Amino acid sequence: MTDPLRLLFVDDDEDIRAIIGMALGLDGALEVRWASGGYEALRMLEDRRWQPECILLDVQMPDVSGDKVLSAIRSVPRAVDLPVILLTANVRSGDIMRYLGLGAIGVIAKPFDPLRLASEVRIMLEQARPVQSH
């Protein structure tokens, strides 16, 4: 049996956090934790006791925007390659290209389908995984 995938999701909206928590909880192979804002997420990354293997990050938050959090994550040496998926209602092609340019591996549009959220995250992680040569 493999270890569960450690996923951190970050959203300032309590109702959205509850929906995301329930949606990701449907996948028993995920170990999920959450943060209510960008600064809290960055503090969690400093704690070496539990390190996420993926972050699902809301873009529009009052304390600090998701794109700024993503830039801060990319400046942490041990998190430079940490897969980050952005969650946003801003899904125009220009927005998506900017997010990918900042280092996100993908974008999930709000509103999202809670029943498909975990599988969407897994698909993006699989597509972002570098091809291994033999």
Per residue in 61-87, pLDDT tens?
A: 998 999 999 999 998 888 889 999 999
**Inside any domain, residue 12:** yes
DSSP string over the chain: -PPPEEEEEE-S-HHHHHHHHHHHHT-TTEEEEEESSHHHHHHHHH-TTS--SEEEEES--SSS-HHHHHHHHHTSGGGTT--EEEEES---HHHHHHHHHHT-SEEEESS--TTTHHHHHHHHHHHHSPPPP-
Q: What is the pLDDT of residue 78?
A: 81
**Inside any domain, residue 133:** no
Domain, as residue range, for 15? 5-128
Across residues 86-110, what is the average pLDDT?
Answer: 93
**Inside any domain, residue 134:** no
Across residues 23-45, what is the average pLDDT?
Answer: 95
How many domains, the chain?
Answer: 1
